[in-house]
Amino acid sequence: MLYKYRAIDPHGKTEKGTIEAGTKNEAIAKLRAKNLLFESISPAQAPLFSRFRRTRAIPPSSLSKVCRDLSIYLRAGISIVNAIRLASSQYSKDRGLSSFLGALAAFLDEGKSLSQALDSQGLYEVPVFFKQSIRISEDGGVLPDVLLELSRFIKDVEGIKKQAKNALFYPAFIITVSLCMVIFMVTVVVPQITGMFEQLGQQLPPITRFVIGVSDFVGGWWHVMLLMAAALIGSHLFLLKTNRPYRFAINRAVLAMPLIGRIVMTMELARFGYMCSVLMRSGVPFVQSIRLAANVQDNLVLSDLFLRASERVVEGGRFSVALQSGGFMVDESFIQSIALGEETSELQTILSNLSALYFEENRDRVAIFLSLLEPALMLLVGGIVGLIITAMMLPIFSMSVGIG
């Protein structure tokens, strides 16, 4: 259990922090062993949200900042325990992150390594590849360099995710506004005009009858349609999280789509190459780097492909050959580049260069996709609105011609 304390050190200075212990008396004994005279000690309270979910994922932006700061402190000659305490005081306003760093410092005081402290703390769920990189770097004595590399990697990946979300924000906004406008016209405008047509008793054109029929259906069954849409979306999200075959089928269908599939595959290959190169540069063996990078892939089809290929590498095969005969065709240039890296023993460098190349290519593809999507949405919405207006105006024109 984690306890927070306020104590006085041998120099008379007040010290605050956290300490891991089974009981309160054990925590007091540990403070005394450090020549600290405690003033107060109590169980550390985690943030309200984490009380319900103790192992929520640590925010990538926070993890990136902590890695960067720890790397700077370690390069300045500060011990890892003091570096973590400095970082903890720097993020004192973030209770969750401060408690996380305090827990790490408490475990380090007990003689554990940083990787062991990451495994022992229960406040945040830390990515497996991150803990593995820390473990390898501690053994190799390159912890400051690896922390800086991990900070850049996490920041870059998070930046790519934000860029994708921002790029899709405008089309999503157009779709939402367009749907609201069409629903308003169908449920409010059309019924008012329909009442006028009924009073006149005029024979309506087929297109007008069709729009009125849609309006009546939506007006009478909108609550059922809303419930069905919510149920379908909820079921889809639930199955994506809990049903692996369903998620695999959806991921495969996405990869088969003409332009979106290419964007998704390029993004996944870029992330795989980037993560593999970082892990290999940190000293992680190649096979283990493949498995760690595969396990954090969003697409199960590619993840399974990389995991099966890693098994072939363990058996003595080549990674490029295993990918080519893996049952799913990835980018041919990716496989050829991997084969070249295996022949020249420059696989880590090639993976890093491939990652940068694919990230750049994806930016161009996303830009092209959005440039095509926006006018397509405009044409679609304009066509629907034009259809409704035409359907409502045709009887009025017919009346004018008849009167004339």
- Sequence-distant (≥ 6) Cβ neighbours of residue 370 within 8 angstroms: 167, 170, 171
Looking at residue 47, what is its pLDDT? 46
Q: What is the pLDDT of residue 232?
A: 94
Same domain, 351 and 233: yes
| pLDDT in the model for residue 50 | 42
From the centroid of its chain, how far is CA 290?
A: 20
Q: Which domain holds residue 11?
A: 1-44
List the CATH number of the domain containing 10.
Answer: 3.10.20
Mean pLDDT by 10 residues, the chain (404 residues): 74 74 70 73 57 66 90 90 88 83 84 86 81 78 83 80 74 79 78 71 78 80 88 92 90 88 87 83 82 83 90 88 81 88 88 86 79 81 83 74 51
Measured between alpha carbons, how far is 53 from 35 in angstroms, rounded to an integer? 36
> Residue 226 gets which letter from DSSP?
H
Residue 110 CB partners (closer than 8 Å, separation 6+)? 20, 30
CATH number for the domain spanning 233: value is 1.20.81.30
Task: Tell me the C-alpha distance between 41 and 222, whole Å.
Answer: 59
Q: 3-state DSSP call for residue 262? A: helix
Position 132 in a domain? no
Q: What total of structural domains would you count in the chain?
A: 3
Is the same domain home to 39 and 61?
no
**322 lies in some domain:** yes
Query: Which residues have a Cβ under 8 Å from the Cβ of 301 and sit 6 or more positions away?
Result: 248, 251, 252, 255, 328
**Residue type at position 161:** K
Asked if residue 170 and residue 83 are part of one domain, the reply reads no
Residue 100 shares a structural domain with residue 182: no
SS3 of residue 288 by DSSP: helix
**Amino acid in the structure at residue 370:** L
- Per the DSSP assignment, residues forming a β-bridge with 57 are 125
CB 265 within 8 A of CB 302: yes
**Does 134 reside within a domain?**
no
Is the distance from CB of 43 to CB of 1 less than 8 angstroms? yes
Say whether both 105 and 176 belong to one domain.
Answer: no
